[in-house]
């Protein structure tokens, strides 16, 4: 094969890689095949079986994973051009099988071109990232340890019940794992419906009596586990049974005391957010999902921080927990548009055009 043909192919390859780097939203569509799974029986991560189907996928799989910073999903970290240059140009200068590398480069072009075609179909090329809207005062947290009050921002392609979810960590223990709830997904249910449900019989009379004061409050979906488990988030730390999660946010309370506080006019029913179900992870499971880039770990920002325009004070992290119910619509099996708006606004609250590009991705 002539050197001219080889150079032509590599120009095409680098051009498609540069197009991915120009728009992080395009690169976010690249997903690597999961290389491992969490075994709940042994409470550990184990290698997955090789399920890469086509020759192109087999050639590209390690490079897609490199472009994704070692994870299954993309987060703004690695330039596609750098990965392609290291993978294909440098080895050609040595004693490497040039035919095999050329086949790999051809496969890479096919995979990247298909991804560009998908981006065009979704309108991502024409989608100008927006930084408009109210911002939340949050920042990316350092990975390595988890604390209650931190937030988990779902990757835009994360599927299942946590799609486009914003979760707050309520509990973490190294030996037992992590518990959290979504805060941006409202259901059609009211607290009064919880009192009528089949699981209501297992609740004590004190709990049922306490719930009556909050009968008209909406119920939010916390995750895909144990719909009988009800979390209550509120700002009243003086209530018995309250556990501080972060400034202005407490978890659980004595419902009788909360009801009495409402009747005395010292609290409003809207101060209390009722969340049904939760998301749970076994020991080291969440850490593995973060390494796969299924989540971005965030936390409350510095107090008194203002928006980039310098004029508008940012909403606090506690405002995110109690995100305005008027912005949220009834939950559907897939991601509803209003919950997606809150999710997108949280991503836009983080610095950098890359995060704004992630926020602008359509619901797939």
The dihedral over CA atoms of 218, 363, 161, 43, expressed in degrees to the nearest 10, equals -140
- For position 339, what pLDDT does the model report? 81
Tokens of 314: 């940012």
Which pTM was predicted?
0.88
Q: Which two tokens stand for residue 284?
A: 């080291």
* Sequential pLDDT tens for the chain (364 residues): 566 777 787 888 889 999 888 888 888 898 888 888 999 999 999 988 766 567 667 777 888 888 888 888 886 667 888 888 777 665 444 445 566 667 777 888 888 999 999 999 988 877 777 767 778 999 999 877 789 999 999 998 887 778 899 999 999 999 999 999 999 988 889 999 887 764 555 555 556 677 888 999 999 999 988 878 899 999 999 999 999 999 999 999 999 999 999 999 999 999 999 999 999 999 999 999 999 999 999 999 987 665 554 556 788 999 999 986 555 555 454 446 778 888 989 999 998 778 888 888 887 7
- Shortest CA distance to 85 belongs to which of 163, 26, 21? 21
Nearest to residue 68, comparing CAs of 352, 335, 290? 290
Query: Closest Cα to residue 306, out of 134, 130, 129, 142?
Result: 134
pLDDT given for residue 331 in this prediction: 47
CA angle 111, 117, 119 (to 5 degrees): 105
Binning the chain into helix, strand and coil, the percentages to the nearest 5 are 40, 20, 40
State the pLDDT at residue 205.
59
**pLDDT value of residue 333:** 45
């Amino acid at each position: 094969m002539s050197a001219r043909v080889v150079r032509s192919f590599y120009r095409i390859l680098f051009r498609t890689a540069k197009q991915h780097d120009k728009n992080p939203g395009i690169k976010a569509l690249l997903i690597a095949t999961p290389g491992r799974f969490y075994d709940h029986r042994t409470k550990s991560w184990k290698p997955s079986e090789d399920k890469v189907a086509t020759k192109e996928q087999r050639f590209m799989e390690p490079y897609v994973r490199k472009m994704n910073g070692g994870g299954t999903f993309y987060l703004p970290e690695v330039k596609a051009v750098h990965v392609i240059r290291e993978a294909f140009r440098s080895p050609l200068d040595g004693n490497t099988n040039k035919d095999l590398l050329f086949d790999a480069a051809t496969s890479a072009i096919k995979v990247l071109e298909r991804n560009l075609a998908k981006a065009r179909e979704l309108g991502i090329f024409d989608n100008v990232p927006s930084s408009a809207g109210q911002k939340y005062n949050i920042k990316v947290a350092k990975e390595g340890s988890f604390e209650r009050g931190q937030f988990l921002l779902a990757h835009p392609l994360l599927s299942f019940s946590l799609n486009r979810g914003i979760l707050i960590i309520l509990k973490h223990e190294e030996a037992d794992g992590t518990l959290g709830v979504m805060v941006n997904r409202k259901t059609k249910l009211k607290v009064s419906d919880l009192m009528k449900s089949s699981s209501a019989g297992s609740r004590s009379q004190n709990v049922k009596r306490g719930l009556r004061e909050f009968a008209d409050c909406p119920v939010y979906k916390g995750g895909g586990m144990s719909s009988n488990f009800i979390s209550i988030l509120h700002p009243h730390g003086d209530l018995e049974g309250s556990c501080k999660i972060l400034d202005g946010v407490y978890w659980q309370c004595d419902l009788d005391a909360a009801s009495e506080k409402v009747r005395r006019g010292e609290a409003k029913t809207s101060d209390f957010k009722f969340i049904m179900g939760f998301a749970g992870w076994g020991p080291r499971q969440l850490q593995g999902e973060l390494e796969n880039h299924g989540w971005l770990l965030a936390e409350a920002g510095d107090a008194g921080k203002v928006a980039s325009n310098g004029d508008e004070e940012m909403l606090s992290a506690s405002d995110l927990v109690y995100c305005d119910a008027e912005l949220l619509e009834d939950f559907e099996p897939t991601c509803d548009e209003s919950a997606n708006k809150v999710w997108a606004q949280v991503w836009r609250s983080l610095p950098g055009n890359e995060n704004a590009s992630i926020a602008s991705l359509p619901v797939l």
